[in-house]
Every structure is written in structure tokens, then in C-alpha cells.
């Protein structure tokens, strides 16, 4: 995959770099916060190869790209360049000229949690995996809990959780547009050994006559988030009142002098109280109905992922891990849900006759049972619907078992087969219950998916082969031979409810070739739809159908027409010619124009385009190919404007 190209296209379609207020990423998603959400072209983003889907929820515009997210993220951040610095400068003054989307308090809360935790995820996953490895080493007798090796490795693993406030301060500072260094410094105050010494003494502590509650902030979550939110306003105040001549000295002094005491005296204890209150509520539910939370998480996890609300439970789970050494809020239910997603998707892989779906389901199903479910969810089960229902039922059934047996997770990792060591701990039966949970989730879901089935998409090649005698193909599709038996074709159409045939005319003079001749995977692999390509002999593009212009690039190199019979035709002159920014292209058409077949749409200078190093091969794509069960193409040959090149039913 060309990550640089994908990153460039995503940046363009979210409204260009100036529209990006903030960008983070998780295991599979680019998480944008945009100045103006209306500038994002969601449908075009969804159509990009490499993009699984787009989710607009929780205050974030999320582009799901799968396991390659880090590579794409790096490309986009490099492209943003000055835009990133400009966002940083805005944060200092608290000004932002871009229009902001109104959000509910729930959306704002989810946005705060997700943005705050996203940068922290690598640290706590890494620490969690070390914990899991340690558990295996102890279980096999290779290391004892009294050894120095265990002590050092355990210290490394504990560091991320002990210093959680400092890690979260960084993410919160990004969300609230304040200084990361000052935020992390305030978090350091909460964890300072001097504070721990005061707690050890157990004496009453006062600050300027105000009593200070001695609280252990190691591993805490909510206190630092609230403190950094407050600090963002204090920093803006300090910026306004500090004389420009000495702002470099006075601004950070004011911020620390006000924020740190407030954190110790008021905000920290209040945040700790909220943190404990939420944790007590979760534990109370678990004590009275241990099956309920894993049932809900096992059943509803796909819904939480789609809506972006899966982050809501993260602070509670993290707090439990830090204080208790285990958690039962996220891990057990997520384990059931993730394995169920894998079971449903692998059942699809075995049952489907569609080659593309089989390949997608096999790879994403394997990834799901390992713990990463977005490719499976968005690429397979959500689209087919019935497998998603089966996965939710299977996840719920396994979640009930996990809850009744008291399954807990000892480390923060994405639950799946690869992370089973995270369920090894002081209770030797815990790992057994985890394995049984996986078996229940997989077997129940696989069986349900197999029984209730799904609407299997027709394989392109199979469908084409039933209608064509010639074995040549264009982009994996049968090419029509002019000698094809008309009676056979008519009979086939009759069997398909007598679908009416449509034709697409050649939009230019040149040589008709296979779509796989286009040196761009977006087109050659048929990811945007089926079609053909023409190597133009003359720099004129004509309308291949009668219809309406529904898209026309400012660079004048691409146009989309919607025909009156439902066909949607995309024509893209050349490869990467968008970089020419309209040079060597001339046209007066605009979106909304109605055209007749044969109308001149665009003139372009073939020699000038080639001289700048660009290919002029032109794909003609049926953008809504899935609507037409029967698409046949003429043989490769020289064509004139108006000659039929594609047949649709």
C-alpha cells in the first residue's frame, strides 16, 4: 500500500490540513477533531482503498484504516507541518477561528476520554504485556516472585500505571489546548516523593490555613484530567496578564503557582472522590449481579465501537487495574465480544462463495480472534448484518459465563487469543475461565452464523462467466465477444427478472484496454468499481451517457455523471493528474449541468501532460457497480467516440 498517497488523500478529504484541529490515532483509527465537520467528504473517504469506514461520533471524526494506522498517521502529521504549529500557537492564546460543532455533554465526555487516553495506550499496553509475560514466567517456574529479575521487570511494568497522571496529563493537554510540559509538571507534583512522605507521617496538613486532604494519586485518572482542564483557563489568564517583555518568566510561574495548590487542596481530592464513587458503583453492580457487566459488554461492544463510546469505561478499568491489580469492567466482556467477532467472520470466510469476501473475512477474522476487531466489524459483519447479530448473541452468552465465574483481567491489553496471558494471575482458574469464555463465544457465534446465514454477494467472476463465452477479462471481469450468442444472453436476462440492458459509450478516441492496465491500485483492482480504461489518442472527453454532472474536480481532470437510468460513471483523465491543479485542462462544465451523450466535457493537452511526467490512460468506472448484476465489456481494440464499450443490466 502507498501510505503517502493514502495519507495525502485522507488529508484532502477531511477538508485539507487547515481544517484539522487535532489528530491522534489508536490501534486502527485516525481520530480527527475538525474545525468544520461539513468540509469532510465522508462518502469519498469511505471509497478510498485502505479506508475501512468512517465514523463520526464522540466528538471525533474517525477514519478506520486498520493495522496500518501508524504509517498513515506519520504521513499525515508530516504533511500537516505548519498547520500543527499553528494549532499549537492557537492553544497558547485559546483562540480558534474555525467553527465548532455543537456536541452533547456525553459526546464531549467521550471526546475528552478518548483524546486523553489515545497517546497513553502504547505505554499501558506495553506494560500490560510485560505483566502477562511475567505471569507466564512465574506459572512455568522460570522466575520466582522473590527474584530480582521479577522485581525489576515488575517495576518496569508498574511504571506506566504508577505514573498514569503524568501520561494522562499529556493527552489532556492536547484536548484542552494547553501546555503539555506544564500539565505534566503539575501531575508530577501530585506524585512527588515529598507528598508521599507527608502521607506516611499521617499528620494534618494545611496550606495557607486551608486543610489539605492527603490522597494517593498514583494510578489515578479523573483528578489530573479535571486539573488540566482548569489549567487551560489559568494559562489563558496568565497569558493575558503577563507583560510581553517578561511573559517568558511570569506566565509559567503564574500557571504553576495557581494550578498546583488548587490541585492539591481542592481539585485533586474532588477528582479522587468522583473516581472512587464511579468505581464503587461498578463494584456494587458486580457484587449483586456479576454476570451483568460482562453480558452488556459482550453483547454491546460492537455498538460501543461503532458509536465511539467504547472509551467510556476505560477510566474505571484503568483505576481498578492500578488499585486492585485486576479489572472486571472491560476485559472479560471484551474478550467474549472480540472472539465472537472472529467466530462470525471466520464462519463467513468458510461459507461465502465470493472470493473477495472470503479473502477479507479470513484475514480480518484471524485478526479479530487475536484482539483487533475493527477490520472484521466494519469490513464484514456490519455490512452483512446477520453475522453481527450472531456475534452479539455469542458475545453475550460468553459474557454471562465470564461474569458468573468471576473472570478478571490482570493487564491492560486488547483481549483476544494473543493476550490470554493477561488473564493469568493469583487465581489459577482464571485462565481456564478465560479459555472457556473464548470457546463459548467462538462456537456459539460460528454455529449461529452458519445456521442463520447471510446474503452472500455474487462473485464478480462467477457472475460474468455465466453470461459470457469469451474467457478474456478486464479487471477480473469477462470481456464480451461480439459473437456471443444473443439467444443465450436473452435467456440469462430473463432469468434475472428481465433486467433492461444499458450501454456506456466511449468518451474519447483511443485504445480500449483492461482496467488492470491503469498504474494505480485504486482503479486497477476495481476498488472504486468495475469498468475499463482508454489510452486517448486525442485530448477531448465527451459524455458517455445522458445525465447530470454530480462531481467535477477543481483540477478539471475528473468528472462524475449520474445517468437517468441509475448508472453512475466516473471518468478520471490520467494518473495523479490532480497534482497538475488544472494545468493543461480546459472545461466550462459545473456540478448540476445536464448533458447529453456525446457532449464535449473537457479538453486536455496530452503532450503537455506527458511532458510533466504523468500517464494519460483514462479509467471509466461504473461507480455503483454493485447495482448492476450483469456488467460486460467490449474487447480491447481501437475505439471512436460514441462506440459502445460497456454493457449493463
Residue 338 to residue 381: CA distance in whole angstroms? 12
Residue 42 to residue 561: CA distance in whole angstroms? 19
Helix axes 222-241, 105-117, angle to 10 degrees: 90
| Burial (CB count within 10 angstroms: exposed 0-12, middle 13-18, buried 19+), residue 258 | middle
**Contact of 319 with 424, CB cutoff 8 Å:** no
The residues near 244 (Cβ < 8 Å, ≥ 6 apart) are none
Find residue 53's DSSP bridge partners: 64
Phi, psi of 589 (to 5 degrees): -75, 160
Phi, psi of 424 (to 5 degrees): -90, 125
| Burial (CB count within 10 angstroms: exposed 0-12, middle 13-18, buried 19+), residue 180 | middle
Closest to 335 measured CA to CA, from 247, 434, 428, 253: 434
The H-or-E segment that residue 568 falls in is: strand 568-572
Closest to 117 measured CA to CA, from 44, 221, 43: 221
The torsion defined by the Cα of 86, 91, 94 and 98, in degrees rounded to 10, comes to 50
CA end-to-end distance (rounded Å), the chain: 33
CB atoms within 10 A of CB 462: 11
Provide the b/e sequence for 106-127 (b: ≥16 CB within 10 Å). ebebbbbbbbbbbbbbebbbeb
Residue 304 to residue 377: CA distance in whole angstroms? 12
Provide the b/e sequence for 422-437 (b: ≥16 CB within 10 Å). bbbbebeebbebbebb
Catalytic hit among 25, 35, 557, 572: 572
Catalytic hit among 26, 35, 433, 438: 26
**Contact of 409 with 330, CB cutoff 8 Å:** yes
Residue 140 to residue 132: CA distance in whole angstroms? 13
Residue 614 to residue 608: CA distance in whole angstroms? 9
Residue 597 to residue 537: CA distance in whole angstroms? 20
532: left (phi over 0), alpha (psi -120 to 50) or beta: beta
Find residue 30's DSSP bridge partners: 25, 63
Q: Is 572 a known active-site residue?
A: yes
Judged by DSSP in three states, 321 sits in helix
CB atoms within 10 A of CB 19: 19
Find residue 637's DSSP bridge partners: 512
The H-or-E segment that residue 403 falls in is: helix 386-404
Residue 416 to residue 243: CA distance in whole angstroms? 56
Q: Is 514 a known active-site residue?
A: no
Residue 594 to residue 550: CA distance in whole angstroms? 9
The residues near 294 (Cβ < 8 Å, ≥ 6 apart) are 328, 332, 333, 336, 399, 400, 402, 403, 407
Catalytic residue positions, numbered: 26, 572
Amino acid at each position: 500500500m502507498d501510505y503517502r498517497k493514502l495519507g495525502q488523500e485522507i488529508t484532502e478529504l477531511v477538508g485539507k490540513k487547515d481544517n484539522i484541529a487535532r489528530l491522534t490515532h489508536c490501534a486502527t483509527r485516525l481520530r480527527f477533531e475538525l474545525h468544520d465537520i461539513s468540509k469532510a467528504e465522508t462518502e469519498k473517504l469511505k471509497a478510498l482503498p485502505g479506508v475501512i469506514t468512517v465514523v463520526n461520533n464522540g466528538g471525533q471524526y474517525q477514519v478506520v484504516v486498520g493495522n496500518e494506522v501508524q504509517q498513515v498517521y506519520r504521513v499525515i502529521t508530516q504533511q500537516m507541518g505548519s498547520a500543527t504549529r499553528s494549532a499549537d500557537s492557537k492553544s497558547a492564546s485559546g483562540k480558534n477561528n474555525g467553527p465548532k460543532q455543537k456536541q452533547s455533554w456525553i459526546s464531549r465526555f467521550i471526546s475528552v476520554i478518548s483524546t486523553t487516553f489515545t497517546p497513553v495506550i502504547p505505554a499501558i499496553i506495553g506494560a500490560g504485556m510485560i505483566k502477562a509475560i511475567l505471569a507466564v514466567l512465574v506459572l512455568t517456574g522460570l522466575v520466582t516472585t522473590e527474584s530480582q529479575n521479577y522485581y525489576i521487570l515488575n517495576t518496569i511494568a508498574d511504571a506506566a500505571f504508577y505514573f498514569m497522571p503524568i501520561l494522562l496529563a499529556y493527552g489532556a493537554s492536547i484536548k484542552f489546548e494547553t501546555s503539555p510540559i506544564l500539565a505534566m509538571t503539575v501531575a508530577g507534583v501530585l506524585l512527588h516523593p515529598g507528598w508521599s512522605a507527608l502521607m506516611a507521617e499521617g499528620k494534618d496538613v494545611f496550606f495557607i490555613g486551608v486543610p489539605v486532604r492527603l490522597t494517593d494519586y498514583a494510578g489515578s485518572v479523573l483528578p489530573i484530567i479535571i486539573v488540566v482542564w482548569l489549567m487551560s483557563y489559568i494559562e489563558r489568564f496568565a497569558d493575558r496578564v503577563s507583560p510581553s517583555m517578561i511573559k517568558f518568566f511570569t506566565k509559567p510561574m503564574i500557571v504553576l503557582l495557581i494550578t498546583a495548590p488548587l490541585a492539591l487542596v481542592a481539585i485533586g481530592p474532588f477528582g479522587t472522590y468522583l473516581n472512587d464513587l464511579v468505581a464503587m458503583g461498578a463494584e456494587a453492580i458486580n457484587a449483586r449481579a456479576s454476570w451483568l457487566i460482562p453480558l452488556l459488554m459482550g453483547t454491546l461492544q460492537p455498538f460501543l465501537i461503532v458509536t465511539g463510546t467504547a472509551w467510556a469505561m476505560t477510566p474505571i478499568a484503568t483505576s481498578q487495574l492500578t488499585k486492585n491489580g485486576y479489572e472486571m469492567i472491560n476485559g472479560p466482556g471484551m474478550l467474549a465480544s472480540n472472539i465472537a467477532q472472529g467466530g462470525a467472520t471466520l464462519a463467513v470466510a468458510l461459507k461465502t462463495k465470493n472470493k473477495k469476501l472470503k479473502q477479507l473475512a479470513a484475514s480480518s477474522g484471524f485478526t479479530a480472534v487475536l484482539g483487533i476487531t475493527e477490520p472484521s466489524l466494519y469490513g464484514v459483519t456490519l455490512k452483512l448484518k446477520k453475522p453481527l447479530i450472531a456475534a452479539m448473541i455469542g458475545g453475550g452468552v460468553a459474557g454471562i459465563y465470564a461474569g458468573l465465574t468471576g473472570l478478571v483481567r490482570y493487564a491492560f491489553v486488547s483481549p483476544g487469543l494473543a493476550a490470554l496471558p493477561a488473564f493469568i494471575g493469583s487465581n489459577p482458574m482464571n485462565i481456564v475461565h478465560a479459555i472457556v469464555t473464548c470457546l463459548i463465544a467462538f462456537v456459539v457465534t460460528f454455529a449461529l452464523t452458519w445456521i442463520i446465514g447471510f446474503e452472500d454477494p455474487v462473485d464478480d467472476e462467477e457472475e460474468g462467466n455465466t453470461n459470457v463465452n469469451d474467457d478474456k477479462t478486464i479487471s477480473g471481469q469477462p470481456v464480451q465477444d461480439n459473437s456471443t450468442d444473443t439467444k443465450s444472453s436473452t435467456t440469462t436476462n430473463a432469468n434475472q427478472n428481465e433486467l433492461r440492458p444499458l450501454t456506456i459509450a466511449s468518451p474519447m478516441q483511443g485504445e480500449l484496454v483492461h482496467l488492470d492496465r491503469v498504474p494505480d491500485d485504486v482503479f486497477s483492482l476495481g476498488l472504486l468499481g468495475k469498468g475499463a480504461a482508454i489510452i486517448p489518442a486525442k485530448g477531448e472527453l465527451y459524455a458517455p451517457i445522458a445525465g447530470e454532472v454530480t462531481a467535477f474536480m477543481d483540477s478539471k481532470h475528473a468528472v462524475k455523471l449520474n445517468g437517468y437510468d441509475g448508472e453512475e460513471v466516473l471518468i478520471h483523465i490520467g494518473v495523479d493528474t490532480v497534482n497538475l491543479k488544472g494545468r493543461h485542462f480546459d472545461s466550462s462544465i459545473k456540478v448540476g449541468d445536464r448533458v447529453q451523450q456525446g457532449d464535449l466535457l473537457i479538453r486536455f493537452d496530452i503532450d503537455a501532460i506527458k511532458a510533466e511526467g504523468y500517464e494519460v490512460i483514462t479509467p471509466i468506472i461504473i461507480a455503483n457497480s454493485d447495482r448492476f448484476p450483469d456488467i460486460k465489456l467490449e474487447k480491447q481494440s481501437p475505439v471512436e467516440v460514441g462506440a459502445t464499450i460497456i454493457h449493463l443490466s
